[in-house]
Structure 1
């Protein structure tokens, strides 16, 4: 059966769900080699454009593009994440509920402890869903979920720039390893999941694992989720710049006199990123990526971004960056798998009760397979949008809204295209017709992404859109377009 409908897409390809063999059929383009970057990109880079200039048009190609984005971010910002060592052992103490993870490389061996706290209100022997808390949890953990903790500072120290190269990770891979602290934590978390897979007596369901952390550890939580596809749900809390915020948006916000953390400040403060990132901290526009693309490495898995409106965290940057990132989930037909919630007027890393319902919804959806309303893109600073200041800088390139109070988002909202998409649901293929620019800014009035839903209802029909929305909420079409 084939469905034909005009769909409004904002610089997003229509990605059909792959067949069972599509992920292994064909090859990906060669990954770009590391080089000195010289091309300035003043807008948020297009996540759907390969480095070779070709555009993503299928699920398989998006998988390839994710690999490319991962490589770019490791090369220029975070450093390389090593694979699991072949020499790898695990010990489990069923009394203390401590897992000892012991990898070895070239005769050098380290070990670190992982503590598991089991659900207090659940009967039965498991296996249980679990939340790995980087640096401990600042969100309320449900009693029905196991919690997993380890000392991430022991893996890679984060007590200032002098901490670079210190910690168990560097004992194994050398103090001159390219990885910054966040990639080292991501590596350790992946080894924890390896160990849990090898230890059925630990009774953890490794298909139902979430990761969280707040502030600097929230930055780390986003990196952890981005670099391990086994993580079902990623919950970075108040991560700000270097986490949910985009570097370019932070620089623009800072230029307006707002006290926000920027890349230049961050690299002088701590060792979270690779030393190689220092060269670009004052030349962010040279990077072929930004953090909407880091978040996009999580797609289409679950991502709930929790933020605060403290200036230093950059609520303008985080909202604009994650609003843009959500377009990736939209292209995958999984937009409700990614949400953003920001509530201010509370202390840093103090979880407000108003965010409990959406947190519970994400945990229910991704750790218990209970259909829940996970649609959220909420901020207390959205009312500061001033559309008349939006500027158009090109048809295919995403761009910022440069609006009141330093509020920024991307021109996925400005440059929308009307395309006729034919979707063959039996063969899971998608054919894109010629794109035509939908001129929506002739008066210099940018159209905000909030209007996307209304535009879709006009073009597709409210009944059809509601049917699709219902299918997505019930999981019937979670990974593909209807």
Structure 2
């Protein structure tokens, strides 16, 4: 079974916990932070197309060297350095059915063991359109982490009830850090499985706590238990969750029913931060999607709008490498900003999404990351964001090699978001 973790609620930062409470409980953004554009500090962004020695990057041939410079800075100063693919990695398909989702889909559940001794593992839940599987057509697929277990994305009783440690949340059916039967389908509103299947796409999802339980324990649980304690530039939880997405991709590449050349990595909130880092660090992901990822994700840190580097490292210190804490209230000293994270994905496709009322995540700062990453995409022969420099109207997506929308509503994942992501994939993958 996937690894479990022992902890008390006192070990969890209460504010960090609040960031994934149900949407109804997040109607007000946290007080005491800047939500006024007039109070955004003056800042200068580091140029993704200028080498560390000041040499301008004017050709696609120069980009790999500059990309490596930027990647190293993110590794050392933001997310931390993760190990490579473990030698003992192996997979077990422990359940499958060809009669799921009202007969429209096949379902399989796969255990990914991170070591030869099978001491630490994660489970992947996969739904694929039955008609594609029967026609032997590999399926383009969305890969994503979830917050409360694979069993929460659907009422499907065949999904294994997770036994891993979870943040207690009665609305999600989690009591004393354990899932109960009441948690089945608790997050289904964020996962329109049947709609995804009807559009011809597959869905693969993993409970993020299987990889690294989300509390600050000094890196002793989850996959960290297999490795030595990290140094100041060692992998924080965001990098660890991204590493887990790459291990899931390792499995997807072995599954003949999945088109591994057309896999989109998707994440919401803190898991949107993880999806961005996964897309930046693993070129196998064809499309990278960030939904309301905010500070440490798509939003420019130098704007200090809504959540800040200081606050996120105070409340969730395990998310980033230790070196990142020095940039709290000192964002301009950091040698990188988040537009460069988006730029690392080039020339592959990326989609950044915001919510109008989610000022904590700084929608404008998320859009500006796309704008300032676009020159790299254009240098590499793509259309970037199509020359867009002004935020689009609410609920009117922009779709080029880069995509963006800001929708009505709060910090959440909605059918509007999913339809936009599938429209984007239709365009990018020629469906």
TM-score range, shorter-chain basis? Answer: 0.5 to 0.7
Return the match for 2:244 from 176, 188, 198.
188
Cα separation, partners in 2 of 1:196 and 1:360, compared to 1, 3 Å = closer
Give the distance between the partners of 1:175 and 1:232, measured in 2 at CA: 32
Aligned to 1:78, what secondary structure does the other structure show? Answer: coil
Q: What do the CA deviations read for 1:431-464 (whole angstroms, capped 9, x no partner)?
A: xxxxxxxxxxxxxxxxxxxxxxxxxxxxxxxxxx
Q: What do the CA deviations read for 1:395-425 (whole angstroms, capped 9, x no partner)?
A: xxxxxxxxxxxxxxxxxxxxxxxxxxxxxxx
| C-alpha displacement of 1:108 | 8.7
Return the match for 2:208 from 144, 152, 169.
152
What is the TM-score when the length of structure 1 is the normalising length? Answer: 0.61
Give the distance between the partners of 2:205 and 2:119, measured in 1 at CA: 21
Contact 2:277/2:341 (<8 A) preserved: yes
Return the match for 2:404 from 340, 344, 351.
340
Q: Would you say 1:124 and 2:171 are equivalent positions?
A: no
Return the match for 2:359 from 302, 311, 314.
311
Contact 2:121/2:211 (<8 A) preserved: no
Cα separation, partners in 2 of 1:164 and 1:212, compared to 1, 3 Å = farther
| C-alpha displacement of 1:350 | 4.0
Cα separation, partners in 2 of 1:210 and 1:164, compared to 1, 3 Å = farther
Q: What do the CA deviations read for 1:168-187 (whole angstroms, capped 9, x no partner)?
A: 22112234361111110111
Contact 2:264/2:288 (<8 A) preserved: yes
Q: Would you say 1:369 and 2:398 are equivalent positions?
A: no
Contact 1:156/1:168 (<8 A) preserved: yes
Return the match for 2:286 from 226, 229, 232.
232
Contact 1:56/1:62 (<8 A) preserved: yes
- Alignment partner, residue 101 of structure 1: 112
Contact 1:245/1:321 (<8 A) preserved: yes
Cα separation, partners in 2 of 1:285 and 1:350, compared to 1, 3 Å = same
- Alignment partner, residue 414 of structure 2: 351
Q: Would you say 1:135 and 2:153 are equivalent positions?
A: no
Q: What do the CA deviations read for 1:294-352 (whole angstroms, capped 9, x no partner)?
A: 011111111111101222111231122222112222222311210211123x1321426
Contact 1:223/1:294 (<8 A) preserved: yes
- Alignment partner, residue 475 of structure 1: none
Gaps of 5+ in 1: 1-40, 254-259, 371-482
- Alignment partner, residue 169 of structure 1: 223
Give the distance between the partners of 1:99 and 1:290, measured in 2 at CA: 36
Give the distance between the partners of 1:264 and 1:229, measured in 2 at CA: 30
Once the two structures are superposed, the pairs formed by residues 13-412 of structure 1 within 5 Å of their partners are 42-93=43-94, 95=96, 97-104=108-115, 110-120=120-130, 122=132, 123-135=134-146, 138=190, 140=192, 142-143=196-197, 144-159=200-215, 162-176=216-230, 178-200=234-256, 203-249=257-303, 251=304, 253=305, 260-270=306-316, 271-309=318-356, 310-334=358-382, 335=384, 336-344=400-408, 346-351=409-414, 353=416, 358-366=420-428, 368-370=429-431
Q: What do the CA deviations read for 1:155-195 (whole angstroms, capped 9, x no partner)?
A: 12224xx3451432211223436111111011111111112
Aligned to 2:367, what secondary structure does the other structure show? Answer: helix
Give the distance between the partners of 2:246 and 2:378, measured in 1 at CA: 27
Contact 1:261/1:313 (<8 A) preserved: yes
Give the distance between the partners of 1:134 and 1:108, measured in 2 at CA: 21
| C-alpha displacement of 1:126 | 3.2
Give the distance between the partners of 1:364 and 1:163, measured in 2 at CA: 42
Give the distance between the partners of 1:184 and 1:115, measured in 2 at CA: 19
Relative to structure 2, which stretch is displaced further, 162-171 or 277-286? Answer: 162-171
| C-alpha displacement of 1:70 | 1.1
Aligned to 1:154, what secondary structure does the other structure show? Answer: helix
| C-alpha displacement of 1:52 | 2.4
Gaps of 5+ in 2: 1-41, 98-107, 148-152, 154-189, 385-399
Contact 1:132/1:148 (<8 A) preserved: yes
| C-alpha displacement of 1:148 | 0.6
| C-alpha displacement of 1:115 | 1.5
Number of aligned residue pairs: give it.
314
Give the distance between the partners of 1:199 and 1:351, measured in 2 at CA: 29
Q: CA RMSD in A?
A: 2.4
Cα separation, partners in 2 of 1:352 and 1:86, compared to 1, 3 Å = closer
Q: Which 4+ stretches in 1 moved above 4 angstroms?
A: none
What is the TM-score when the length of structure 2 is the normalising length? Answer: 0.67
Cα separation, partners in 2 of 1:104 and 1:350, compared to 1, 3 Å = closer
